[in-house]
Structure 1
Amino acid sequence: MVEPMFDYQFRHILIGDSTVGKSSLLKYFTDGKFAELSDPTVGVDFFAHLIEVKDGTRIKLQLWDTAGQERFRSITKSYYRNSVGVLLVYDITNHASFEHIPLWMMEAKRHIEPHRPVFALVGCKLDLVNNGVQRREVSVEEARSFAEQHGLIFVETSARTGVNVREAFSLVTQEVYNRIQSGEYKVEDGWDGIKKGFPRPSNLDFNLVVAESARSSCC
């Protein structure tokens, strides 16, 4: 099968504690379904997906799912540098996973420098709270306040129902593209965070996600 053409390639990385829902988030985004059984990520898993931003520009996303366990940190750190988007993932029913977000963010900044990525704070497992299965431990207000303080996109999601899953990736992608358009970001030799692609003929059609404007969203 011939790979669809695209205008840009962006590389995004998902980081956060183990079992917060990173793999399930990616599974729903790329396959459109919830993974009932999901083995813990060992090291790093790779996914690819096409997305379309608002002006019709087509973006190929390289998505890196990282293991949250300490023993895999030395492996996952090597993937930070070539990322332009970082999704900081936590479990809204586990406050400890939220408390660790500043540490994950600092680690990402340290390894991605001198580049300045787009960060998104992504809460997972919203369905467990909405269905009364588990108690919410991280309030919307607390998470939004943290996001605003640090200039992060904020969204709460459910990989089981699909609520805001596409939005999480779309918002990050749209913001990266906006920064390219403004001149803040550019394609650089030796850096794989942003790469030029191969625009396709306009008469071809693909099932693409339309990225929303880069704004905060939740619930």
Structure 2
Amino acid sequence: MGQSWSTQPAVSKHKVRQSLRKFIWQFRVILVGDSAVGKTSIALRLTEGMFRDHLQKTIGVDYYIHVLETTPTVRVKLQLWDTAGEKAHRTMTQSHLQTILGGLLVFDLTNRQSLDFITNWLDETSAALDQCQGIFILVGHKSDLSAERQISQEEAECIAADMGLRYIETSAKDDTNIQEVFLILASSIADLVKAEVTKVKGGITAINCSVFLKQ
């Protein structure tokens, strides 16, 4: 898939391993959620390892890049689309969604209405999402604010199950499950892509959404 090497004895296993580690899957994923649920905080914690108490609202879409390793031989380059929560500032179209391989559906554990936002967003985008076999995870954010919770973990897990989604709780402030949720997302997308690739002779093709294998 994009690279070959000699199997002669002169090529060491070490060199083969180093060659394999050059492969990078590039996945485009989105962060969706109501305004002020913490999508940008999650993106900044992942990509810059930092947390800020006060951030400007996202207008349209902000973009971030993060590379992580899903297996010893495969790294994933995530293109993160941090989308605006306020309807007036949303620029995500049906055509944009068809280039997405998955993402995080983020709500605020201290704000019940933010969970309604996710349900409404899924209803509004169902037609586009049906054309894109994406992987989505429901994320309850701000788990550090336990005294202010309006939604229990048990209730959120039941809602996620009804949606057919996996559920994870995170906190950008204390760095809870930030790396983990993206690793799960990237690994799940990689498994989906690998399954599709096995159906294709001669390498990678366009698999419903934009997928690339790079060196």
| TM-score where L is the length of structure 1 | 0.79
Give, in whole Å, the separation in 2 of the partners of 1:10 and 1:108.
Answer: 20
Q: Hey, what does 1:67 align to over in structure 2?
A: 84
Give, in whole Å, the separation in 1 of the partners of 2:126 and 2:183.
Answer: 21
User: Where in structure 2 are the equivalents of 1:124-135 lying within 5 Å?
Assistant: 124-129=141-146, 132=147, 135=148
Q: Hey, what does 1:139 align to over in structure 2?
A: 152
Q: Is 1:159 matched up with 2:176?
A: no
- Give the secondary structure class of the aligned counterpart of 2:55: coil
Give, in whole Å, the separation in 1 of the partners of 2:60 and 2:157.
Answer: 30
Q: Is 1:81 matched up with 2:101?
A: no
Cα shift at 1:86: 2.0
> Structure 1 residues 5 and 104 mapped into 2: Cα distance closer, same or farther (>3 Å)?
farther
User: Where in structure 2 are the equivalents of 1:39-50 lying within 5 Å?
Assistant: 39-50=56-67
- Give the secondary structure class of the aligned counterpart of 1:126: coil
- Give the secondary structure class of the aligned counterpart of 2:92: helix
Q: Deviation string for 1:153-209 (max 9, x for gaps)?
A: 2110000000001111111111011112223898544965321211xxxxxxxxxxx
1:172 paired residue among 176, 181, 185 = 185
> Structure 1 residues 169 and 109 mapped into 2: Cα distance closer, same or farther (>3 Å)?
farther
- Give the secondary structure class of the aligned counterpart of 1:174: helix
How much identity, in percent, do the aligned residues show? 35
Cα shift at 1:8: 1.0
User: Where in structure 2 are the equivalents of 1:17-56 lying within 5 Å?
Assistant: 17-56=34-73
Pair member with larger Rg? 2
Deviates more, 1:148-157 or 1:184-193: 184-193
Q: Which amino acid aligns with 2:170?
A: T
Deviating beyond 6 angstroms after TM superposition, the runs of 4 or more aligned structure 1 residues are none
Q: Is 1:116 matched up with 2:133?
A: yes
Q: Hey, what does 1:213 align to over in structure 2?
A: none
- Give the secondary structure class of the aligned counterpart of 2:174: coil
Query: RMSD of the alignment, in Å?
Result: 2.2
Q: Which amino acid aligns with 2:45?
A: Y
Q: Deviation string for 1:21-64 (max 9, x for gaps)?
A: 10000000101111232100010000001011034311111000
> For structure 2, which runs of at least 5 residues remain unmatched after alignment?
1-20
> For structure 1, which runs of at least 5 residues remain unmatched after alignment?
199-219
Cα shift at 1:82: 0.9
Count of residue pairs brought into register by the alignment: 190
- Give the secondary structure class of the aligned counterpart of 2:145: helix
